[in-house]
Copies of this chain bind each other. A is one copy, B any other.
Amino acid sequence: MHIHLLLVEDNIDLANTVIEYLEITGIVCDHASNGQMGLNLALAQHHDVILLDILLPRMNGQQVCKKLREHGNQTPILMLSSLDALADKLASFSVGADDYLVKPFELPELVARIRALSLRRSGQANRLQVADLIMDLSARKASRNGQELHLSPTGWTLLECLMRASPAPVNRERLEAAIWGDKLPDSNTLKVHMHRLRKAVDKDFAVALIQTLPGIGVQLGAICAKG
């Protein structure tokens, strides 16, 4: 997965040095040599990160940053500047910058910061998938074949346990431990929860994903048509 970056910098030598180094590490670079051009480029197409020099012809870096944010652009912005003054840093952060690096800097550090910025924003979609069954862990939603499933908290726990194990079967004890930890309730509560989970997951579909292996446990993901 390539990082796509925009560098706005008027010093041609510095720009070339930076771009050359970044391209070697696998970062794809666009380049603009003045503020106005940078703004236009940033608005015209998507970048994962923007590097902004502050002292630029036509429009300075802070103005570019401010205008981008005013347009609703949320791309992570790293300010580059030879100005080490506190006031410049504060001004940059206040117009919406995400990081600030003082020249001269070491190129590996720049790369590390670029990576950190692009990762944070990439919305780590935390999901599990088995066949057409999808669990979105961060949004806490489950869906099958695009249709959203309604799960109770216990049903969710149960399904998560099954999906993590899939395609291996999970025995009764492990499921009980997943829900209640040490102190198990008596009676056949687990059966009821499993039943409800089946209704939620398999009811409206031709293929049953939840399978019981008698004497072994329950398994998710074996592909068998329903009888």
Are B89 and A112 in contact, CB atoms less than 8 angstroms apart?
yes
CB of A132 within 8 Å of the partner chain:
no
Given contacts A94-B112, A116-B97, A168-B140, contact A69 B123 (CB under 8 A): yes
Q: List B contacts of A141 (CB < 8 A).
A: 167, 222
CB of A74 within 8 Å of the partner chain:
yes
Measured in the bound complex, the distance between the Cα atoms of B140 and A169 in whole Å is 7
Most central of A124, A140, A213, A224 by chain B CB within 10 Å: A124
Within 8 Å by CB of A69, from B76, B96, B124, B215, lies: B124
Most central of A66, A76, A106 by chain B CB within 10 Å: A76
CB distance from A174 to the nearest CB of B (A): 14
CB of A219 within 8 Å of the partner chain:
yes
Q: List B contacts of A125 (CB < 8 A).
A: 66, 69, 94-96
Q: State the oligomeric state as a number of copies.
A: 2
CB of A57 within 8 Å of the partner chain:
no
CB of A187 within 8 Å of the partner chain:
no
Most central of A69, A76, A213 by chain B CB within 10 Å: A69
Within 8 Å by CB of A122, from B98, B116, B124, lies: B98
Measured in the bound complex, the distance between the Cα atoms of B168 and A108 in whole Å is 34
Given contacts A69-B125, A123-B77, contact A116 B140 (CB under 8 A): no
CB of A20 within 8 Å of the partner chain:
no
Given contacts A106-B86, A112-B89, A215-B153, contact A123 B138 (CB under 8 A): no
Residues 77-116 of chain A, each 1 if its beta carbon lies under 8 Å from chain B, else 0: 1000000001001100111111100000010110011011
Q: List B contacts of A94 (CB < 8 A).
A: 112, 125
Q: Which residue of B lies closest to A77 (CB)?
A: B123
Q: List B contacts of A222 (CB < 8 A).
A: 139, 141
CB of A191 within 8 Å of the partner chain:
no
Within 8 Å by CB of A99, from B99, B108, B121, B213, lies: B99
CB of A45 within 8 Å of the partner chain:
no
